[in-house]
A and B are shown apart, each in its own frame.
Chain A
Amino acid sequence: DSGVTQTPKHLITATGQRVTLRCSPRSGDLSVYWYQQSLDQGLQFLIQYYNGEERAKGNILERFSAQQFPDLHSELNLSSLELGDSALYFCASSVQGVNSPLHFGNGTRLTVT
Chain B
Amino acid sequence: GQQVMQIPQYQHVQEGEDFTTYCNSSTTLSNIQWYKQRPGGHPVFLIQLVKSGEVKKQKRLTFQFGEAKKNSSLHITATQTTDVGTYFCAGLSSNTGKLIFGQGTTLQVKP
Residues of A within 8 A of B (CB): 2, 35, 41-43, 45, 56, 58, 90, 92, 97-99, 101-107
Q: Does B48 contact A (CB under 8 A)?
A: yes
CA A99 – CA B92 in complex, angstroms? 8
In contact, B100 and A56 (Cβ under 8 angstroms): no
Specify which chain B residues have a CB less than 8 angstroms from the CB of A90 in the assembled complex. Answer: 42-43
| Size band of the interface chain B makes with A | 20 to 34
Specify which chain B residues have a CB less than 8 angstroms from the CB of A58 in the assembled complex. Answer: 98
Total inter-chain residue pairs, C-beta < 8 Å = 49
Name the contact of A99 in the complex, choosing from B31, B43, B45, B101 (C-beta under 8 A).
B31
Give the interface SS of chain A, mostly helix, strand, loop or mixed: loop
Specify which chain B residues have a CB less than 8 angstroms from the CB of A43 in the assembled complex. Answer: 43, 88, 101, 104
Specify which chain B residues have a CB less than 8 angstroms from the CB of A56 in the assembled complex. Answer: 97-98
Q: Known contacts A99-B31, A102-B33: does B43 contact A45 (CB below 8 Å)?
A: no
Name the contact of B44 in the complex, choosing from A2, A35, A99, A107 (C-beta under 8 A).
A2
Residue of A nearest to B101 (CB): A43
| Complex interface bits, B16-57 against A, C-beta within 8 A gives 1, otherwise 0 | 000000000000001101010000011111001000000000
Specify which chain B residues have a CB less than 8 angstroms from the CB of A41 in the assembled complex. Answer: 103
In contact, A42 and B98 (Cβ under 8 angstroms): no
In contact, B44 and A42 (Cβ under 8 angstroms): no
Rank and list the top 8 A-B pairs by shortest CB-CB distance, nearest first.
A101-B45, A42-B103, A98-B99, A104-B42, A43-B101, A104-B43, A42-B104, A106-B42
Specify which chain B residues have a CB less than 8 angstroms from the CB of A102 in the assembled complex. Answer: 33, 35, 43, 45, 90, 99
Q: Known contacts A45-B101, A56-B97: does B42 contact A99 (CB below 8 Å)?
A: no
Cβ distance A77 to chain B, nearest Cβ, rounded Å: 21
Name the contact of B30 in the complex, choosing from A99, A104, A107 (C-beta under 8 A).
A99
Specify which chain A residues have a CB less than 8 angstroms from the CB of B103 in the assembled complex. Answer: 41-42
Specify which chain A residues have a CB less than 8 angstroms from the CB of B42 in the assembled complex. Answer: 2, 90, 104-107
